A and B are shown apart, each in its own frame.
Chain A
Amino acid sequence: MKQLGIVGQSVHRSDGLGHVTGRTTFIDDISYPHMLYISMVRSPVARGKIRSIDTSKAEAFPGVATVITAKDVPNNLYTILCLIGIGPNDEPVLAEDEVMYEGEPICAVVAESEEIAREAASLVKLDIEELEPVLDVEYALRPEAPKIKKWGTNTFTYDGKDHCQIRFGDVERGFAEADEIVTGTYQLSPIEHAPIETHVCVAKPEPDGRLTVHTNTQALYFTLDNTAIILKMPSNRIRMIGGTVGGGFGGKVDVLTEPITCIAALKTGRPVKWRWTREEETRCSSTRAAVKIEMTDGVMRDGRIVARKVRSLQDAGAYHRHSPYGAMKHMVNVVGPYTIPNVWVDVYCVYTNRQPSSAMRGFGVTEASFAVEVQMDRIAKAIGMDPWEIRLRNAYRNGDMRPFGKITEDATLIETIQAAAKLVGHELPPELAQMHSNDEGGYAAAQRATA
């Protein structure tokens, strides 16, 4: 037998020796002589109009180099996913006329030490007229709710609609035919990534006018492009250097530290470090979106799911970040890996005055899987069928049309369930144990035949 070099072998991590000796360079381990530090003044309220920002006392504080406000940001309004056509730009790098969530950055105090920066930051005087915040997705959709986004609604606009949708077959006919209707509402709270290493960025102006930037971003090129757009600087003048990320989980893909650190470095001509406190990491970084999923299924007594209708609300928080895209991923996954002939899905990307949500490990999909699989158990219970069987009967097979218009080519659900059954010592009856993703068997095939 041919000897495989790597497959089947345990291979040491390439960064393992650095980690166990403490010699791995994390971004906070990088310092330059004559370096300055940032402390951010953040919004104390969830929603408000900024009447004035008085930075004079902070600027006069001994050891303060400068205070950065929206006026210092060449292109203050941005959105990360403009790079893939998401818009309009809705998030200010630094708040200008309004604040949209508690903890939103307003102005950056740049000083000789973190302690001085923090002390001076407490001297910035904010005059903010507090407005009623919108903190709940259902409330946000009601006519009487304040419209918090500049375009006059509380939702992302997909093709002129306030939601994205799937229409497949005739869901009402499916419900009419069904023996049972099974409903479920599934909700998840926002989840914080909580990396042990907080966000850190170091920016150093070079004599030739370029910038060297060290950042613990998980998305180096997104960060480079967005920073270039915000700074109005060609990207070849920014040397963006990533490195070991001390825990990311999707929480370090938003471009939250680099533009401000770069602007501080350019304005002062000195290296600048910005590291978030644990409190900032917890209260001001992006989270996984809170979601509310309402699911109604029409089910036959033999186990076939003949119709599924979903209404799902994704709490984007104050700004887009990755949520409009997460909502679309959610839309295509909330039907689950099952063949259902009649499907209706409405997903709303809703804005509230909460800490923005964004990417986190399978965002949009994980939430959908949670709802779908709890719902499958409910269906099994409602018709008195074994939970393994209900999944295998409805599992999608190669050749099945997905509700979003794609023919299934790479189904592995049946084999995965069979392998899982083996692992936990659950014996499947022969009919289920012999199913295969290439079968014409199962109820899906029957549905295809009658469709």
Chain B
Amino acid sequence: MSAITVSFTLNGRATTLTVSPATTLLTALREHAQLTATKAGCSQGGCGSCTVLVNGEPTLACLTPLAHVEGQEVTTLEGITPVGGLHPLQKAFYDRFAAQCGYCTPGMIMAAKALLDRNPHPTREEIAAALSGNLCRCTGYLPILDAVEDVARQNGGGER
């Protein structure tokens, strides 16, 4: 079978993977790079559980051929988790009980991170809009909004 070689930056490190041509970024992350935080909920662009950042933009890894990230910068949940600690969003999700079964959580956090990186002080409506492509079947949407709002406030946007 033919193979392609793709070089990109993965969580800050130069990475080269050799895969079959149709391999998605999702499969490449989970099965070739062994980074399993990114989840497959539908593998067809419908649920948001595979959300990662490509050059800071929220991106559905299940719809992105690995070949498309040649030379780009890919960030997964593993990449924002400090050694021995938590990213402010992770801490807020933990403290606010924003994860129930936890399957949608990695995608939620990455979509929220993309929002806060470009807009540190979003309104609740802006948060809801930014997360509207991420489904949580455990339906914990309100604690999820609360968690992101907490971090937006810590960013200095208004008071508690």
Interface residues of A (CB under 8 A from B): 12-13, 15-26, 28-29, 31, 115, 193-198, 244-249, 277-278
Interface centre among A23, A195, A198, A247 (most CB of B within 10 A): A247
B101 touches A13 (CB 8 A): no
Whether B38 contacts A278 by the Cβ 8 Å rule is no
How many angstroms between the C-alpha atoms of A59 and B39 in the bound complex?
31
- Does B67 sit at the interface, judged by CB under 8 A? no
Q: Are B46 and A195 in contact (CB under 8 A)?
A: no
Does B8 touch A at the CB level, under 8 Å? no
Smallest CB-CB separation from B90: which chain A residue?
A: A20
Nearest 5 CB-CB pairings of A with B: A22-B37, A19-B102, A246-B103, A19-B99, A278-B42
Which residues of chain B (26-41) have a CB below 8 Å from chain A? Answer: 30-31, 36-41
Contact A278 to B37, CB < 8 A, known contacts A21-B90, A244-B102? no
A197 touches B101 (CB 8 A): yes
Q: Is B3 positioned at the interface, with any CB of A under 8 Å from its CB?
A: no
* Residues in chain A near residue B36, CB distance under 8 A: 22, 25-26, 28-29
> Which secondary structure dominates where chain B touches chain A?
loop
CB distance from A192 to the nearest CB of B (A): 10
In chain B, residues 41-71, which have Cβ atoms closer than 8 Å to a Cβ of chain A? Answer: 41-44, 46-47, 49
Q: A20-B86, A20-B109, A278-B46 are in contact. Are A197 and B99 (CB under 8 A)?
A: no
A13: which of B41, B99, B109 is its contact (CB, 8 Å)? B99
Check A22 against B41 for contact (C-beta < 8 Å): no
**Nearest Cβ in chain A — how far from B74, in angstroms?**
15
Are A18 and B44 in contact, with the CB atoms below 8 A?
Answer: no
**Nearest CB of chain B from residue A242's CB, rounded to whole Å:** 13
| B75 on the A face (CB < 8 A) | no
Q: Secondary structure at chain A's binding surface: helix, strand, loop or mixed?
A: loop
Interface stretch, picked from B120-128, B134-142, B149-157, is B134-142
- Interface positions, chain B 66-86, Cβ under 8 Å from A, are 76-78, 81, 86
- Cβ–Cβ < 8 Å partners of A21 in chain B: 37, 77, 81, 86, 90
A196 partner, pick from B20, B30, B49, B78, beta carbons under 8 A: B49
CB of A374, distance to nearest CB on chain B (Å): 23
CA distance A246 to B81 in the complex (A): 21
Once the chains are docked, how many angstroms separate the CA of A248 from the CA of B77?
A: 24
Other A-B pairs beyond A19-B102, A20-B91, A115-B20, 7, CB < 8 Å? A12-B94, A18-B102, A19-B93, A19-B99, A23-B37, A28-B30, A278-B44
Q: Point out the residues of chain A lying under 8 angstroms from B136, CB to CB.
A: 196
Chain A residues near B137 (CB-CB < 8 A): 193-196, 247, 249
A197 partner, pick from B37, B41, B77, beta carbons under 8 A: B41
Query: Is the pair A22, B78 in contact by a Cβ cutoff of 8 Å?
Result: yes
Chain B residues with CB under 8 Å of A22's CB are 36-38, 76-78, 81, 105-106
A245 and B91 CA atoms in complex are apart in Å by 22
User: In the assembled complex, which residues on chain B have CB atoms less than 8 Å from the CB atom of A246?
Assistant: 39, 101-103
A196–B94 touching, CB < 8 Å: no
Give the shortest distance, in Å, between A12 (CB) and chain B (any CB). 7
Q: Are the CB atoms of A197 and B103 closer together than 8 Å?
A: yes
A-B contact pairs, 18 of them (CB 8 A): A16-B99, A20-B90, A20-B91, A20-B102, A21-B37, A21-B81, A21-B86, A22-B77, A26-B39, A28-B30, A28-B40, A193-B137, A195-B137, A196-B101, A196-B135, A197-B41, A245-B101, A278-B43
